[in-house]
Chains A and B, each alone.
Chain A
Amino acid sequence: MSTTSTTDQETESDTSDSGAPSGGDFDPVAARRAARRGLILGGLAVAATACNVRPDPPRTINPPAPPRPRPTTTLPPRTTTTLPRTTTTLPRTTSTTTTSTVPPTTPPPTTNPPTPPTALRAEHVARRLTFGPTPAVMSAIAAAGGPAQWIDAQLEMPASVDAALDDQIRSSYPRTFNDAIGNFALGEAWEIISELPAATTVRAIFAQRQLFEQTVGFFWDHFNVDLRNDRAQASCGAYDQLIRAGAFGRFSDLLLAVARSAAMMNYLNQATSRADGTNVPVENFARELMELHTVGVDGGYDEDDVKAVAHLLSGWTRQLVDWMPIGPFRFDAAAHNLGPFQDPTHTVLGWSRGALTGEAAGVGFIDHLARHPTTAQRLAHELAIRFIGDHVQRDDAVVTAAAGVYLTNDTSIRATLRSLLTSNEFAASANRRIRRPLELYASMVRALARPTWNPGALRDARWGLVGATDSLNQVPHWWPDPDGYPDRDANWVSVGSMISRWNMATWVVRSPSAVVTVDWTAIRNWTTGTTIGEWFAAACGRLGVTVANTARDRMLGELYRTATTPLSATGTQWTMENLLIQLLQAPDYQTR
């Protein structure tokens, strides 16, 4: 069976023809077919992620189904769908409603006990806070004076250290730095679909500011926009720059910038929302602003509040360019109607507009949301899940402490991160997380590839880089929904994804190309020793994998080698390839 050919036929355009409005002249099928032709990794077997967990404990044997009684009526029960108003404005009251037959169930208030003092290890910091340890990272940690000092250095490192990388990306992927307005033709906007994922992947592999890149990835998920959305894509280069500018700044600034961005305003239909005359404002952005960007779905608002906020933000639009609202921000007073907020004392989530009107009222509400205690706790929890692990509960002390730091430091993202990363919980969380697909791919390349790419090669490789993470369903910025790629480990491991994880190792090692040049001389020189056994020990150390000698001897035996076989023997590269694939497939490599 020809795996690659069947894969091509069955998977191309699978994510591109998802039924979303399609526009422009971009042909996803042709693009992906081109991607899979001759370029690296383009034909990777594609398997999806899953989020299965262990099933319930075994049950006793169930009796066979009894004879089915015939019903005597066709009338269904009358179901009530009334929505009780939530009258309190306190944070974190639930606004979820249920039928009278189902009492609301509240999750048990579980928290983890505080972690005792734990030493912060360099290997853990390198695996968790970068896209894969390299000798350069380990040297930098040592040079900084230790892992804690290295974290501080990463938080303070100026953007200029990656200026050369920026220049390279600017020449290879020019549309990732701007929106289309005055910078490139609207007809080229679709190029962002491959350029930005490629740029993000290249940055993950090469940036010095690794913690910054990790944080940018976090906020892209937090404020997700799907590049393939034809309303948003002309503005997504500028949107990436906006997130990059704000990822280490104040969350209040970032939140407002996102709310006023052409990408988000188009993605969530804010730019075409009107509340004048008989028009009903579109609720989409107002809802996600609270549900996803700030307080969360149980944050203490209800359906009427969503409608009220949709009114509050009505008139927020963009100037028209070629009939699309993708120009500069514009407040259209004619489309604005405060709705319930016409009453200056009308309150949502503890905020009323007072004397504020028009555009300023919306800005005031968004700033209030950024500083809401529920937003602080939720954002700190999300960051803790990303950087510590998905076992962290929302009310754990480590989260509450970080939320407090966030509020007392003017919503500083860096201060919040520092609080989390200096915690015992972080120090004790080594290898608790599974490498997400981008992390897995980038880590393999960082471990094996020679960083000698030129801009021309990068440009040609963009669809190949898309294919690299597509194999595990995490092409950067291709998540279709506003909630971003899932961040629970269970979402990233299943039967299908295990196979793709194993196959990715084979691809990276065995498919050298313009982008991934595996430097076998350098790899041979991982050890100064002269035997396969010494090289194997060095490889295990680099990749963070522990292999017992019996297992090593078994692996070598299958390759007709022993630990004392000289590295100079014929077939050394073939041997190293085989062993590397198996080490990269090892479950302990797949964690971080």
Chain B
Amino acid sequence: MRTTRTTQPTDQHEGSTGPSRRHFLVGAAAAAGTTVVLSQSGLVGAAAPATGRSLIVIFLRGGADGLTLLAPLGDPAYATRRGPLRVQSSTARALTGPAANSYFALHPRAQRLAELYAAGRVAVVPAAGLPVINRSHFDAQLMMEAGSFGLAHGSGWAGRWLAATGATDDHVLRSIGFGGTTPASLRGYPSMVAYSLADLSLLSWGPNRTQVRTNQTERLAAGGTHPLFSTWSEPTLDTIDSLATLGDTSLPTGWPNTQLGKRLWPVARLIEAGFPVEFSHAELDGWDTHSAQGTPDEASGNMASLVAQLDGAIGAFVDRIGSRIADTTVVVMSEFGRRAEVNSSGGTDHGTAFPMMVIGGGVRPGVVGPWPGLADNQLVDGDLRLMVDYRTVLSEVLSRRLGATSSHLSSVFPGFSTSPATWVNVCQ
């Protein structure tokens, strides 16, 4: 039977502790006719705060141009710095609602984000990021996702959070990402990565689940193979069993058929169905707009298309999870912003600070944290000055939304000193 799931969505989800992983696991295992759980794989080992809440990180790969996403229209230097690439006040999306702000405005294509802002669901930290100038995509992404700035990264910040709070009954869906390779932030915890939920089933004309399980178990017991297969075989088999309970998981009509849309859809489906997804990561590539960035009002421009894709996917995601938004937090970040000046190819080169966004339940809405300004004497080496360490924002979210303690945070961001006194209050 595949209908014994114990964690149906509820209408009154605000404030509840959500489904426990243990209950889910029992239900799923019973449904699948198996008693194997992840703990028997020896992968995880300690209890978690278990808030029942979800954190989704959307990573904009390539270094997104924050000065176009969140335009500082009130900054007197903005128009001259950005020239033809600037957001025009006539078409910009105004920041209205309980935290109305006329100094900043969103990109013209960020309609859904503007609506969410007006509804009090969005906090933006306008000049946040990696507190190190490193304009290499790979190095900056790696440092940011590792959450520690040495060169040898065995694990990522999210992986350490998940491992530190892992419970013996963790389900493999506790941490799941769709599309591309697993980000460095998840290293250190056995997260699941796939393109879609449907891809997480065996072909019907091959050996069935039982045969594969027996074959793998037998072969692994015989020894002599790579340890990665010993690690991954059993969680994989468990996952196939659990996801068989979901039925059809194809992209629904009307859902944005874009890279980010397809990556957020399965997360929305799992959260909607009550699966205990605690952490998820989705990425949107292509923000490295060295040339032909396009103007904000050019519907087909590179930057405009990217903003529209980001905006549409977040809008669809929020719509789909409904009341569970109260227990869901979405963080949008990028490895760096772009330089203040436009380059000779009609694009922008690698910069420093980027407007980090926190969207969802329990957010304290508004543009929070200081704005450094774009005048000559306010820039640092041609860049927007970085005002808030991205770890400050993530620490606050982990603490106020997912129940992280200061001791958790010291292992999530080793060597980084953070406390409520330094937070910018993106959460209530």
Contacts and interface: CB of A to CB of B under 8 A. Distances in A.
Interface stretch (A187-195, A204-212, A373-381, A505-513): A505-513
A355 interface: no
Interface in B377-428: 380-381, 385-389, 392, 399-400, 403-405, 407-408, 415-417, 420-425
A382 interface: no
Contacts of A493: 226, 228-229, 231-232
A79 B193 contact: no
A72 interface: yes
A488 B369 CA distance: 40
Interface in B239-283: 239-240, 247-251, 257-259, 262, 265
Nearest to A69: B420
Interface string A301-320: 00100100000000000000
B11 interface: no
Interface string A550-582: 010011001000000000000000000010011
Given A14-B259, A52-B182, A481 B193 contact: no
A287 interface: yes
B29 interface: no
A585 B218 contact: no
Nearest to B399: A68
Q: Please indicate which of the listed interface residues B182, B285, B400 has the most CB atoms of chain A within 10 Å of its own CB.
A: B182
B37 interface: no
B82 interface: no
Interface string A469-511: 0000100000011010010011101111111101101110010
B203 A56 contact: no
Given A19-B284, A74-B424, A65 B133 contact: no
B64 to A, nearest CB: 10
Given A49-B193, A71-B420, A291 B226 contact: no
Interface in A52-78: 52-66, 68-78
Contact of A283 (B45, B135, B182, B230): B135
B286 A18 contact: yes
Interface string A376-414: 000000000000000000000000000000000000000
A506 B205 contact: yes
B8 to A, nearest CB: 20
B358 interface: no
Given A17-B259, A48-B193, A587 B290 contact: no
A519 B331 CA distance: 53
Q: Please indicate which of the listed interface residues B151, B265, B287 has the most CB atoms of chain A within 10 Å of its own CB.
A: B151
Contacts of B138: 291-292, 297, 481, 483
A77 B194 contact: no
A285 B148 CA distance: 27
Contact of B226 (A10, A17, A68, A587): A587
Nearest to B406: A66
Given A1-B247, A106-B150, A558-B211, A502 B199 contact: no
A111 interface: no
Interface in A275-295: 279-280, 282-284, 287, 291-292
A583 to B, nearest CB: 9
A157 B405 CA distance: 62
B385 A503 contact: no
B5 interface: no
A284 B201 contact: no
Interface stretch (A97-105, A116-124, A146-154): A97-105
Interface string B92-132: 00000000000000000000000000000000000000011
A532 B187 CA distance: 45
Contacts of A14: 179, 195, 259, 262
A369 interface: no
| Contact count band on B | 35 or more
B202 interface: yes
B195 A46 contact: yes
Interface in A132-170: none
A528 interface: no
B302 interface: yes
A546 B224 contact: yes
B20 interface: no
Contacts, number: 392
Nearest to A497: B193
A282 B136 CA distance: 13
Interface residues of A, number: 123
A57 B154 CA distance: 13
Contacts of A454: none
B345 interface: yes
A342 interface: no
A291 B284 contact: no
A587 B221 CA distance: 11
B324 interface: no
Contacts of B228: 434, 489-490, 493
B199 A7 contact: yes
Contacts of B148: 102, 105
A543 B154 CA distance: 34
A560 B348 CA distance: 66
Contacts of A83: 133, 381
B194 A55 contact: no
A282 B290 contact: yes
Interface stretch (B68-76, B160-168, B315-323): B160-168
A291 B136 contact: yes
Interface string A23-52: 000000000000000000000011111111
Contacts of A52: 159, 182, 186-191, 193
Contacts of B14: none
Contacts of B193: 47-50, 52, 494-497
A193 B400 CA distance: 47
A185 interface: no
A25 B81 CA distance: 34
A64 B352 CA distance: 36
A19 B306 CA distance: 6
A57 B160 CA distance: 11
Interface of A: 1, 3, 5-7, 9-11, 13-14, 17-21, 45-66, 68-83, 94, 96-99, 101-108, 269, 272-274, 279-280, 282-284, 287, 291-292, 297-298, 303, 306, 431-432, 434, 473, 480-481, 483, 486, 489-491, 493-500, 502-503, 505-507, 510, 546-548, 551, 554-555, 558, 578, 581-582, 585-588, 590-591
23 contacts: A5-B250, A14-B179, A14-B259, A45-B201, A47-B195, A52-B186, A71-B425, A74-B425, A81-B133, A99-B132, A103-B415, A272-B291, A272-B344, A282-B345, A292-B138, A303-B135, A486-B181, A495-B172, A498-B229, A507-B203, A510-B205, A587-B216, A591-B226
The 6 closest A-B pairs by CB, nearest first: A58-B45, A19-B286, A105-B150, A506-B206, A107-B152, A496-B194
